[in-house]
Structure 1
């Protein structure tokens, strides 16, 4: 056979089709990961549908995950993006959720992976992937069913593009009686030095200061972190106005919300971090800030058959 110097190379992809994201289920069917053709990636743990990793094309991590985070389903994950539903914190005076554990059961339940879709079907850029997850009453443990007897469904979508991560939730009341619920996406963003971080977009906004006896205050300017911080903001300019995290004066993350009126800003600082067994390294508070999009100041009431939808997009 004659060896031709210009023979065609093996085809890497189907002719005429652009490269598509690769989606795999790993770790004994407990995790879903997706990698874009350009190299960005995400990983989602089915326990809690928790996004545990979001990397840029160079492999740099954009989310903070504790070195001691439990990824075996034994407790809620410390870091990434845990999901809070149907109660934020605890609500001893709210009959429907008073007996639930802190932050509810969504972050400690096993979700179903419902499948993936690429840019062709998501309508996003030519380089994106959407992962869909579901949770309903039938997925709950017997204990959670006793504490939350309301038929419901949660549909959670995680969308990765080269320069953004979007997360969206649809809550549906599948029962014949109304229920009230809260929702929060507890996002841990990775930073290099918390003392150089500033947050804009919350100016002139009312907030509840949970470190200072839950007093209601108003933000006068840029938010900076110099001690334990736990604040529930209702941004004055609404969900579509961006909340921007800057470091050393340069914007690193921009968060825009859809139908989620509240933003929690959290950093445990020295003493609180030292007291959490699953927070490692203990000085990890220097490298994270939580900017948490949610609907938590009041309650979302869903009548029979009603649905509530909320979402965020984090851009870099």
Structure 2
């Protein structure tokens, strides 16, 4: 379990093998860090299973986290990759099973269990016949779990369904994959929504363009939930933006974030039909107590794959799986 006292401080590589990914725990067992031999790293807070850092081999951070974010388990983290389940945004009006839950549900404010790690290695890249670990495509996968039994009695009363969530974070040299499997362990169906609330770091939001959303319909939350269609090939951010896109080709449409005309990130989805694009801009950022610095909106962009356009109904024993892969140019 999360709090066991004899948890090792590090899971080291087997002696005699080429350098392998390492997994370490913080002294209070509140977070897990994985690092590849080539220097890439990812850090996950067990509170919410929130990814709070993803760095490339040079140590450059790819995720934006507010300097005022609470990382002590007292509040959902502002930044990184919070998990949204079983409801996206403010819950619907009274009468829906999620109506008593807080905004974005309880997954991001629950303590998850670390289930373990696994590593893989493919053939060395062409041009390097040494077979060294630096030339190989190493990856490390971290698994986390949350079930109804893990919730507080208060939350179980608000949403009294038996469920199981498995969240996997996979790091390799050029990308980060996060996937969530939702299983209905109850004897009755339930409805839910899933979203990966990803805060990408950028240098200057005014130089950013987003492609891959052309011809998508969207709900514009800034404009009273009006419905529109993305007619331009690219989207730029110049004011508060909060849109829920449904891409015309489903999850096969890849979203690309460019900055200064160069690709910064590509976001591929698996079974997540919606993409939320969010930036709070000046006034909204100023009104959020945990958003710091207030000028931070210039350095972040939320591209959030999810299944939130409607409700996913899971029958007893059924499962839903969705994933995103964020790729950076090497």
Bin for the TM-score computed over the shorter chain:
over 0.9
Match of 2:119 in 1: 118
Match of 2:282 in 1: 270
Match of 2:161 in 1: 150
Match of 1:312 in 2: 324
CA distance in 2, matches of 1:91, 1:110: 21
Match of 1:214 in 2: 225
Q: Does 1:66 align with 2:66?
A: yes
Question: What SS does the aligned partner of 2:251 have?
Answer: coil
CA distance in 1, matches of 2:261, 2:121: 37
Q: Does 1:137 align with 2:148?
A: yes
RMSD: 1.3
Question: What SS does the aligned partner of 1:128 have?
Answer: strand
Q: Does 1:99 align with 2:100?
A: yes
CA distance in 2, matches of 1:55, 1:240: 26
TM-superposed deviation, 1:303: 0.3
Deviates more, 1:85-94 or 1:300-309: 85-94
Match of 1:254 in 2: 266
Structure index of larger Rg: 1
Match of 1:203 in 2: 214
TM-superposed deviation, 1:135: 0.2
What is the 5 A alignment of 1:1-20? 14-15=15-16, 17-20=17-20
Match of 1:39 in 2: 39
Match of 2:175 in 1: 164
Q: Does 1:235 align with 2:236?
A: no
Following TM superposition, the consecutive aligned residue runs of length 4 or more in structure 1 with deviations greater than 3 angstroms are 12-15
TM-score (norm 2): 0.89
TM-superposed deviation, 1:171: 0.1
TM-superposed deviation, 1:27: 3.9
TM-superposed deviation, 1:90: 1.8
Maintained 8 Å contact 2:91/2:102? no
What is the 5 A alignment of 1:154-193? 154-193=165-204
- The match for 1:294 among 306, 316, 325 is 306
CA distance in 2, matches of 1:86, 1:78: 19
CA distance in 1, matches of 2:231, 2:206: 19
TM-superposed deviation, 1:120: 4.8
TM-superposed deviation, 1:13: 7.4
Q: Does 1:28 align with 2:33?
A: no
Match of 1:5 in 2: none
CA distance in 2, matches of 1:98, 1:116: 36
Match of 2:297 in 1: 285
TM-superposed deviation, 1:95: 1.2
1:237-260: CA deviation from partner (whole Å, max 9, x where unpaired) = 221221000001100000000000
- Which sections of structure 2, spanning at least 5 residues, go unmatched? 1-12, 123-135
- The change in CA–CA distance for 1:278 and 1:27 in structure 2 (over 3 A counts) is farther
Question: What SS does the aligned partner of 2:250 have?
Answer: coil
Match of 1:9 in 2: none
CA distance in 1, matches of 2:305, 2:141: 19
- Which sections of structure 1, spanning at least 5 residues, go unmatched? 1-11
CA distance in 2, matches of 1:166, 1:126: 15
